[in-house]
Amino acid sequence: QVQLVESGGGLVQAGGSLRVSCAASGLAFSFYNMAWFRQAPGKEREFVAAIRSGVITYYADSVKGRFTISRDAAKNTVSLQMNSLKPEDTAVYYCAGAKRPLYSGTYQADEYDYWGQGTQVTVSS
């Protein structure tokens, strides 16, 4: 059974940094795409960042230059380093994985096959 487990969320002041990580287990394959989405209260889930084949990265405009996604294929983990955090970054952050390569579908939640349970990130002003 494939599982994605996020860790590293928490409370931080505006301008601070956090790193969230996601560990995949139970895999008989490697994910082509791994991504982070987030969902704030009362809002739809939105794309944050993705990485394809371990090297090609994608970012939402709202986080570009502040967040960095990385992947350790040997450990089946993907991480999101978040710097210069803003209160509007407050959300539950979800890790997602896709078994096939995504191109235009990179930004769409329904293109991903597996999801973690989420980790809360709260940025205070």
Write down the pLDDT at residue 40: 96
Tokens of 113: 């096959």
Q: What is the pLDDT of residue 63?
A: 98
* pLDDT score for 56: 93
56-79 pLDDT per residue, tens: 999 999 999 999 999 998 888 999
Copy the structure tokens of residue 48. Answer: 């944050």
Tell me the pLDDT tens digit for each residue of 5-46. Answer: 999 999 999 999 999 999 998 876 788 899 999 999 999 999
- Strands 10-13 and 119-124: what pairing? parallel
User: Residue 51 above 90 pLDDT?
Assistant: yes
- Which has more confidence, 82 or 30? 82
Q: What is the pLDDT of residue 75?
A: 85
State phi, psi for 88 to the nearest 5 degrees: -70, -5
